[in-house]
Structure 1
Amino acid sequence: MNEHVLDIRFSSALKALLYLAVTAEQDPADPPTSSSAQLAEVLATNASLVRKLLVPLVHGGLVESTKGRAGGARLAKPAEEITLAEIYRCSVGDKPLWACRPDTAASCEVTANTAEFFSRLSADTEEAVLNVLASRTLADSLAEVRALDVTAAAPGTAR
Protein backbone atom coordinates (compact mmCIF):
# COMPACT_ATOMS: atom_id res chain seq x y z
CA MET A 1 0.00 0.00 0.00
CA ASN A 2 2.89 2.42 0.58
CA GLU A 3 3.55 2.80 -3.15
CA HIS A 4 0.18 4.55 -3.47
CA VAL A 5 0.96 7.24 -0.89
CA LEU A 6 1.09 10.70 -2.41
CA ASP A 7 4.68 11.91 -2.76
CA ILE A 8 5.01 15.39 -1.24
CA ARG A 9 8.79 15.75 -1.45
CA PHE A 10 8.68 18.15 -4.41
CA SER A 11 6.01 20.40 -2.95
CA SER A 12 7.79 20.41 0.42
CA ALA A 13 11.15 21.19 -1.17
CA LEU A 14 9.60 23.95 -3.28
CA LYS A 15 7.95 25.50 -0.23
CA ALA A 16 11.23 25.37 1.72
CA LEU A 17 13.17 26.96 -1.13
CA LEU A 18 10.54 29.67 -1.57
CA TYR A 19 10.98 30.47 2.12
CA LEU A 20 14.77 30.53 1.72
CA ALA A 21 14.35 32.86 -1.28
CA VAL A 22 12.35 35.28 0.87
CA THR A 23 14.99 35.24 3.59
CA ALA A 24 17.74 35.75 0.98
CA GLU A 25 16.11 39.05 0.01
CA GLN A 26 16.91 40.42 3.48
CA ASP A 27 20.63 40.59 2.63
CA PRO A 28 21.41 39.37 -0.89
CA ALA A 29 25.16 39.85 -0.39
CA ASP A 30 25.21 37.60 2.69
CA PRO A 31 21.85 35.82 3.00
CA PRO A 32 20.91 34.66 6.49
CA THR A 33 20.48 30.98 7.17
CA SER A 34 17.27 29.36 8.34
CA SER A 35 17.44 26.62 10.93
CA SER A 36 15.78 23.27 10.39
CA ALA A 37 13.41 24.28 13.22
CA GLN A 38 12.37 27.42 11.30
CA LEU A 39 11.85 25.44 8.12
CA ALA A 40 9.97 22.76 10.04
CA GLU A 41 7.57 25.40 11.31
CA VAL A 42 7.02 26.70 7.75
CA LEU A 43 6.45 23.16 6.46
CA ALA A 44 4.37 22.10 9.47
CA THR A 45 6.61 19.11 10.12
CA ASN A 46 9.55 18.24 12.34
CA ALA A 47 13.16 19.36 12.05
CA SER A 48 14.43 15.82 11.44
CA LEU A 49 12.30 15.47 8.30
CA VAL A 50 13.47 18.89 7.12
CA ARG A 51 17.10 17.85 7.46
CA LYS A 52 16.36 14.72 5.37
CA LEU A 53 14.56 16.86 2.78
CA LEU A 54 17.56 19.20 2.52
CA VAL A 55 20.17 16.49 1.87
CA PRO A 56 19.41 16.01 -1.87
CA LEU A 57 19.00 19.77 -2.31
CA VAL A 58 22.48 20.30 -0.84
CA HIS A 59 23.93 17.51 -3.02
CA GLY A 60 22.26 19.10 -6.03
CA GLY A 61 23.90 22.46 -5.34
CA LEU A 62 20.65 24.29 -4.66
CA VAL A 63 21.10 24.77 -0.90
CA GLU A 64 24.10 25.44 1.32
CA SER A 65 23.93 24.01 4.80
CA THR A 66 26.07 24.65 7.84
CA LYS A 67 25.96 22.59 11.00
CA GLY A 68 26.05 23.69 14.59
CA ARG A 69 24.09 25.98 16.86
CA ALA A 70 24.36 28.98 14.53
CA GLY A 71 24.06 26.83 11.40
CA GLY A 72 21.23 26.54 8.98
CA ALA A 73 20.33 26.47 5.31
CA ARG A 74 20.28 29.09 2.58
CA LEU A 75 20.10 29.14 -1.18
CA ALA A 76 23.37 28.17 -2.84
CA LYS A 77 22.68 30.43 -5.81
CA PRO A 78 20.22 33.21 -6.67
CA ALA A 79 16.56 32.27 -6.99
CA GLU A 80 16.68 33.47 -10.62
CA GLU A 81 19.14 30.67 -11.39
CA ILE A 82 17.19 27.79 -9.82
CA THR A 83 14.56 26.12 -11.98
CA LEU A 84 11.64 24.15 -10.67
CA ALA A 85 12.91 21.22 -12.74
CA GLU A 86 16.12 21.23 -10.70
CA ILE A 87 14.14 21.25 -7.46
CA TYR A 88 11.94 18.44 -8.74
CA ARG A 89 14.85 16.24 -9.82
CA CYS A 90 16.75 16.85 -6.57
CA SER A 91 13.76 16.13 -4.36
CA VAL A 92 12.27 13.20 -6.27
CA GLY A 93 15.35 11.76 -7.96
CA ASP A 94 14.80 9.40 -10.86
CA LYS A 95 11.52 8.10 -9.47
CA PRO A 96 9.02 8.00 -12.34
CA LEU A 97 6.00 10.26 -12.26
CA TRP A 98 3.72 7.22 -12.37
CA ALA A 99 4.21 3.58 -11.60
CA CYS A 100 2.98 0.98 -14.06
CA ARG A 101 1.20 -2.09 -12.84
CA PRO A 102 3.45 -5.13 -12.94
CA ASP A 103 3.34 -7.08 -16.17
CA THR A 104 0.77 -9.83 -16.34
CA ALA A 105 0.58 -12.74 -18.70
CA ALA A 106 -0.29 -11.64 -22.21
CA SER A 107 -3.71 -13.04 -22.92
CA CYS A 108 -4.88 -10.55 -25.55
CA GLU A 109 -3.68 -7.50 -27.47
CA VAL A 110 -4.38 -5.27 -24.47
CA THR A 111 -2.43 -7.24 -21.88
CA ALA A 112 0.33 -7.87 -24.42
CA ASN A 113 0.87 -4.16 -25.13
CA THR A 114 -0.30 -1.98 -22.25
CA ALA A 115 3.00 -2.08 -20.34
CA GLU A 116 4.88 -0.66 -23.36
CA PHE A 117 2.07 1.80 -24.09
CA PHE A 118 2.04 3.01 -20.49
CA SER A 119 5.83 3.28 -20.42
CA ARG A 120 5.74 5.54 -23.49
CA LEU A 121 2.82 7.58 -22.13
CA SER A 122 4.63 8.03 -18.82
CA ALA A 123 7.86 9.12 -20.55
CA ASP A 124 6.00 11.65 -22.72
CA THR A 125 4.10 13.01 -19.71
CA GLU A 126 7.23 13.29 -17.58
CA GLU A 127 9.03 15.11 -20.40
CA ALA A 128 6.15 17.59 -20.64
CA VAL A 129 6.13 18.14 -16.88
CA LEU A 130 9.90 18.68 -16.78
CA ASN A 131 9.68 21.13 -19.70
CA VAL A 132 7.11 23.20 -17.82
CA LEU A 133 9.17 23.08 -14.63
CA ALA A 134 12.36 23.99 -16.52
CA SER A 135 10.67 27.12 -17.88
CA ARG A 136 10.00 28.50 -14.38
CA THR A 137 12.52 29.70 -11.84
CA LEU A 138 12.27 29.92 -8.09
CA ALA A 139 12.17 33.73 -8.48
CA ASP A 140 9.26 33.44 -10.96
CA SER A 141 7.43 31.21 -8.52
CA LEU A 142 7.97 33.59 -5.60
CA ALA A 143 6.57 36.43 -7.70
CA GLU A 144 3.56 34.29 -8.56
CA VAL A 145 2.99 33.36 -4.92
CA ARG A 146 3.15 37.02 -3.97
CA ALA A 147 0.69 37.93 -6.73
CA LEU A 148 -1.72 35.32 -5.38
CA ASP A 149 -1.42 36.86 -1.92
CA VAL A 150 -2.15 40.34 -3.31
CA THR A 151 -5.17 38.97 -5.16
CA ALA A 152 -6.45 37.21 -2.04
CA ALA A 153 -6.01 40.35 0.07
CA ALA A 154 -7.71 42.69 -2.40
CA PRO A 155 -10.83 44.45 -1.11
CA GLY A 156 -14.00 42.57 -1.84
CA THR A 157 -12.35 39.18 -2.27
CA ALA A 158 -12.88 36.25 0.02
CA ARG A 159 -9.93 34.98 1.91
Structure 2
Amino acid sequence: MLDIRFSSALKAMLYLAVAAERDAPDPSAHQSPEQHSPTLSSAQLAEVLGTNPSLVRKLLVPLVRAGLVESTKGRAGGARLAKPASQITLAEIYRCSVGDKPLWACRPDGAASCEVTANTAEFFSRLSADTEDAVLDVLGRRTLADSLAEVRSLGSQTPAG
Protein backbone atom coordinates (compact mmCIF):
# COMPACT_ATOMS: atom_id res chain seq x y z
CA MET A 1 0.00 0.00 0.00
CA LEU A 2 1.38 3.38 -0.95
CA ASP A 3 1.91 5.90 1.81
CA ILE A 4 0.76 9.34 0.67
CA ARG A 5 1.21 11.17 3.97
CA PHE A 6 4.41 12.95 2.86
CA SER A 7 3.02 14.07 -0.49
CA SER A 8 -0.19 15.24 1.20
CA ALA A 9 1.69 17.11 3.93
CA LEU A 10 4.00 18.69 1.34
CA LYS A 11 1.08 19.84 -0.79
CA ALA A 12 -0.62 21.35 2.28
CA MET A 13 2.60 23.10 3.29
CA LEU A 14 3.09 24.46 -0.24
CA TYR A 15 -0.45 25.80 -0.17
CA LEU A 16 0.19 27.43 3.23
CA ALA A 17 3.38 28.97 1.80
CA VAL A 18 1.42 30.48 -1.09
CA ALA A 19 -1.11 31.90 1.36
CA ALA A 20 1.69 33.37 3.49
CA GLU A 21 3.23 35.04 0.42
CA ARG A 22 -0.09 36.40 -0.75
CA ASP A 23 -0.72 38.04 2.59
CA ALA A 24 2.85 39.16 3.33
CA PRO A 25 2.94 42.35 5.38
CA ASP A 26 3.48 45.74 3.91
CA PRO A 27 6.95 46.77 5.18
CA SER A 28 5.67 50.28 5.90
CA ALA A 29 2.88 48.91 8.11
CA HIS A 30 3.83 48.27 11.70
CA GLN A 31 2.25 44.86 12.18
CA SER A 32 3.34 41.87 14.17
CA PRO A 33 3.47 38.56 12.25
CA GLU A 34 0.28 37.44 14.00
CA GLN A 35 -1.60 40.43 12.61
CA HIS A 36 -0.95 39.56 8.98
CA SER A 37 -0.36 35.82 8.75
CA PRO A 38 -3.26 34.16 6.99
CA THR A 39 -4.95 31.12 8.40
CA LEU A 40 -6.55 28.52 6.20
CA SER A 41 -9.27 26.29 7.53
CA SER A 42 -9.06 22.52 7.39
CA ALA A 43 -11.97 22.70 4.92
CA GLN A 44 -9.95 24.94 2.59
CA LEU A 45 -6.93 22.65 2.78
CA ALA A 46 -9.14 19.58 2.34
CA GLU A 47 -10.54 21.00 -0.87
CA VAL A 48 -7.03 21.49 -2.28
CA LEU A 49 -5.95 18.01 -1.17
CA GLY A 50 -9.13 16.35 -2.39
CA THR A 51 -9.89 14.86 1.01
CA ASN A 52 -11.93 15.65 4.11
CA PRO A 53 -11.23 18.23 6.84
CA SER A 54 -10.87 15.57 9.54
CA LEU A 55 -7.99 13.93 7.67
CA VAL A 56 -6.34 17.32 7.16
CA ARG A 57 -6.51 18.04 10.90
CA LYS A 58 -4.81 14.68 11.59
CA LEU A 59 -2.18 15.47 8.95
CA LEU A 60 -1.43 18.82 10.60
CA VAL A 61 -0.96 17.50 14.15
CA PRO A 62 2.70 16.40 13.77
CA LEU A 63 3.50 19.54 11.77
CA VAL A 64 2.12 21.65 14.63
CA ARG A 65 4.05 19.59 17.23
CA ALA A 66 7.27 20.17 15.28
CA GLY A 67 6.70 23.93 15.15
CA LEU A 68 6.29 24.08 11.38
CA VAL A 69 2.61 25.05 11.47
CA GLU A 70 0.54 27.08 13.91
CA SER A 71 -3.07 26.14 14.38
CA THR A 72 -5.90 27.99 16.04
CA LYS A 73 -9.23 26.44 16.90
CA GLY A 74 -12.66 27.88 16.58
CA ARG A 75 -14.85 29.49 13.98
CA ALA A 76 -12.16 31.87 12.73
CA GLY A 77 -9.37 29.36 13.31
CA GLY A 78 -7.11 27.63 10.87
CA ALA A 79 -3.53 26.78 10.07
CA ARG A 80 -0.59 28.88 8.93
CA LEU A 81 3.15 28.47 8.59
CA ALA A 82 4.89 28.96 11.94
CA LYS A 83 8.04 30.25 10.28
CA PRO A 84 9.10 31.42 6.82
CA ALA A 85 9.05 28.83 4.03
CA SER A 86 12.77 29.46 3.50
CA GLN A 87 13.42 28.06 7.00
CA ILE A 88 11.46 24.82 6.56
CA THR A 89 13.18 21.87 4.91
CA LEU A 90 11.43 19.06 3.11
CA ALA A 91 13.24 16.66 5.45
CA GLU A 92 11.38 18.24 8.39
CA ILE A 93 8.05 17.82 6.61
CA TYR A 94 8.94 14.23 5.68
CA ARG A 95 9.91 13.30 9.24
CA CYS A 96 6.71 14.85 10.60
CA SER A 97 4.49 13.09 8.12
CA VAL A 98 5.98 9.58 8.28
CA GLY A 99 7.40 9.61 11.80
CA ASP A 100 9.77 6.73 12.50
CA LYS A 101 8.18 4.49 9.91
CA PRO A 102 10.96 3.06 7.74
CA LEU A 103 11.06 3.76 4.03
CA TRP A 104 10.78 0.04 3.34
CA ALA A 105 9.71 -2.91 5.44
CA CYS A 106 11.84 -6.03 5.45
CA ARG A 107 10.31 -9.37 4.66
CA PRO A 108 9.92 -11.33 7.92
CA ASP A 109 12.77 -13.73 8.66
CA GLY A 110 12.30 -17.40 8.06
CA ALA A 111 14.52 -20.22 9.13
CA ALA A 112 18.21 -19.54 8.47
CA SER A 113 19.06 -22.44 6.20
CA CYS A 114 21.87 -20.85 4.14
CA GLU A 115 24.02 -17.71 3.94
CA VAL A 116 21.25 -15.82 2.10
CA THR A 117 18.45 -16.58 4.56
CA ALA A 118 20.81 -16.08 7.51
CA ASN A 119 21.96 -12.62 6.41
CA THR A 120 19.28 -11.06 4.21
CA ALA A 121 17.45 -9.29 7.05
CA GLU A 122 20.62 -7.55 8.25
CA PHE A 123 21.61 -6.69 4.67
CA PHE A 124 18.17 -5.25 3.94
CA SER A 125 18.16 -3.30 7.20
CA ARG A 126 21.48 -1.66 6.25
CA LEU A 127 20.32 -1.02 2.68
CA SER A 128 17.13 0.58 3.96
CA ALA A 129 19.04 2.79 6.43
CA ASP A 130 21.47 3.93 3.72
CA THR A 131 18.61 4.70 1.36
CA GLU A 132 16.69 6.61 4.01
CA ASP A 133 19.83 8.63 4.84
CA ALA A 134 20.18 9.52 1.14
CA VAL A 135 16.52 10.55 0.92
CA LEU A 136 16.80 12.72 4.03
CA ASP A 137 19.99 14.29 2.68
CA VAL A 138 18.25 15.31 -0.56
CA LEU A 139 15.16 16.56 1.28
CA GLY A 140 17.30 18.40 3.82
CA ARG A 141 18.90 20.48 1.07
CA ARG A 142 15.54 21.72 -0.22
CA THR A 143 13.38 24.25 1.53
CA LEU A 144 9.69 24.79 1.20
CA ALA A 145 10.46 28.11 -0.54
CA ASP A 146 12.80 26.35 -3.03
CA SER A 147 10.10 23.80 -3.72
CA LEU A 148 7.42 26.42 -4.28
CA ALA A 149 9.70 28.16 -6.79
CA GLU A 150 10.26 24.85 -8.57
CA VAL A 151 6.53 24.10 -8.65
CA ARG A 152 5.92 27.52 -10.16
CA SER A 153 8.62 27.00 -12.79
CA LEU A 154 6.98 23.73 -13.79
CA GLY A 155 3.72 25.61 -14.29
CA SER A 156 5.40 28.10 -16.59
CA GLN A 157 6.74 25.22 -18.71
CA THR A 158 3.32 23.65 -19.20
CA PRO A 159 1.93 24.44 -22.67
CA ALA A 160 -1.38 26.27 -22.72
CA GLY A 161 -4.36 24.41 -24.00
Tell me the TM-score normalised to structure 1 length.
Answer: 0.93
The yes-or-no answer on 1:57 pairing with 2:63 is yes
Q: What secondary structure sits across from 2:111 in the alignment?
A: coil
SS in 1 for 2:125: helix
**1:130 match:** 136
Cα deviation code 1:33-54 (max 9, x no counterpart): 0000000000000000000000
Runs (5+) with no aligned partner, structure 1 = none
Return the offset for 1:28.
2.5
* Residue type of the alignment partner of 2:18: V
Maintained 8 Å contact 1:25/1:31: no
Counterparts in 2 of 1:158 and 1:25: CA distance versus 1, 3 Å: closer
Q: Which amino acid aligns with 1:78?
A: P
Q: 2:16 aligned with 1:23, yes or no?
A: no
Q: Please, which moves more after superposition, 27-36 or 16-25?
A: 27-36
Secondary structure class of the residue paired with 2:22:
coil
For residue 158 of structure 1, report the CA deviation from its aligned partner: 6.5
Paired position in structure 2 for 1:151: 157
Identity %: 82
Structure 2 residue runs of 5 or longer lacking an equivalent are: 26-35
After TM superposition, the score normalised by the length of structure 2 is 0.92
Map of 2:2 onto structure 1: 6
**How far 1:103 sits from its partner (Å)?**
1.0
**Paired positions, count:** 151
